[in-house]
Amino acid sequence: MTSRLMLVIPCCFMLISPLATVQAQSPAGRLLASQCAQCHGTNGRAVGDMESLAGESARELYGEMLEMKNSNDASDIMHRQAKGYSDAQLWLIAQYYAALSGGGSNDGVVGSRIRDSTHEDD
């Protein structure tokens, strides 16, 4: 009986641990947005003259980041930053900042639906 119990208990923990890991995962865009924190604040609320991003519209943020990515203005640091991300990654970053409290709107966007310049607004 004791030897069976010694086998069953570890197996139960192995089955439960992935569930705990799933619940503890960060939002999809959080890690991607970590580079943005240097200027726009760790919670999307900038200090100083930089623009705060928390709570802003996901669609507007995404559109602005796409413009920056496609810009050839070498004097703008955002041009270089945005080029390092795929369009899908930019959408995840936009969703992350839109979901943070800050007074803006997340456009009712839920999940990880990816938009790019070829999609039309619903």
Give yes or no for residue 58 having a pLDDT over 90: yes
DSSP secondary structure code for residue 110 in this structure: -
Give yes or no for residue 98 having a pLDDT over 90: yes
Lowest mean pLDDT among 8-17, 32-41, 82-91, 93-102: 8-17
pLDDT for 84 equals: 93
Domains and CATH numbers, the chain: 27-99 (1.10.760.10)
pLDDT for 105 equals: 42
Exposed, middle or buried: residue 101 (CB in 10 Å: 0-12, 13-18, 19+)?
exposed
CB atoms within 10 A of CB 54: 19
How much of the chain, in percent, has pLDDT values that exceed 90?
41
Could you report the per-residue pLDDT of 43-54, keeping only the tens digit for each?
Answer: 999 988 889 999
Mean local confidence (pLDDT), 69-80: 87
